[in-house]
Amino acid sequence: MSTALVLVDVINDFFDPGGVNYHASYDALHGVLNQLVHAALENGRAVIHVVERHRSGPDFEFKKLPVHCLDGSWDATVPSWLAAQEQHIMVPKRRYSGFFGTDLDLLLRERHVRRLVVAGVKSHVCVRATIQDAFAFGYDVLLPREATGSNRENLHLASLEDVDRYLGRVVSLAEGLQALQAEGSP
């Protein structure tokens, strides 16, 4: 079974103290995310980065949230600390899910990917929405618990429980790394 790493919204808006959606707890994810990126690339796995990139002007998401992460803006840019960015496949998204209105499913199917290791933020919004759609498309999904976070602990815990119960498996970082290393791993 071919595996890919899908990073969700690892961008300045969430990971830099100057970002509107920054949360200090996300600082602990830097090293974990880089471990996953290195493991994926060392083992010939795709690193697919789904990133919020909105257009200026009308955008349905702006009915619920203020204007944010405009295409080309600093807040929609991948932070400099994230490893090997030139090797990432970037998939811009305008909604919470990395699958909705993007070519992510097509990209994965062309690469014969059936299993995803998903990491990033927020666990209760974009990560969960991406995993829910991945499940609906028939992907086997692993979410390393150390590789995601939220600014709402109660929603984070509830989302991890939902993912593990209904949509995929919440695993340890070691299991996520193993999945990126060996085709036969769980």
Give the pLDDT confidence of 85-99 residue by residue, as tens digits: 999 999 999 899 999
What CA–CA distance (Å, rounded) separates 41 from 82? Answer: 13
Query: What pLDDT does residue 155 have?
Result: 97
Domains of the chain: 2-181 (3.40.50.850)
Residue-wise DSSP of the chain: -EEEEEEE--SHHHHSTTSTT--GGGGGHHHHHHHHHHHHHHTT--EEEEEE-BPSS--GGGGTS-S--BTTSGGGSPPTTSTTGGGPEEEEESSSSSSTTSSHHHHHHHTTEEEEEEEEE-IIIIIHHHHHHHHHTT-EEEEEGGGEE-S-HHHHHHHHHHIIIIISEEE-HHHHHHHHH-TT--
Backbone angles phi, psi at 120, to 5 degrees: 135, -160
Residue with the two structure tokens 């300045």: 12
Query: What pLDDT does residue 184 have?
Result: 46
pLDDT digits (tens, 9 = 90+) for 135-186: 999 999 999 999 999 999 999 999 999 999 999 999 999 999 999 997 644 3
Query: What pLDDT does residue 183 have?
Result: 63
What's the whole-number mean pLDDT along residues 40-69? 83
Residue 166: count of CB within 10 angstroms of its CB? 10
Query: What pLDDT does residue 24 have?
Result: 96
Query: What pLDDT does residue 34 have?
Result: 97
Q: For residues 124 and 159, is the Cβ–Cβ distance under 8 A?
A: yes
Binned at pLDDT 50, 70 and 90, residue 67 comes out as: low
Query: What pLDDT does residue 185 have?
Result: 40
Query: What pLDDT does residue 1 have?
Result: 66
Lowest mean pLDDT among 11-25, 57-71, 84-98: 57-71
Looking at the DSSP bridge assignments, the partners of residue 7 are 49, 119
What CA–CA distance (Å, rounded) separates 48 from 112? Answer: 14
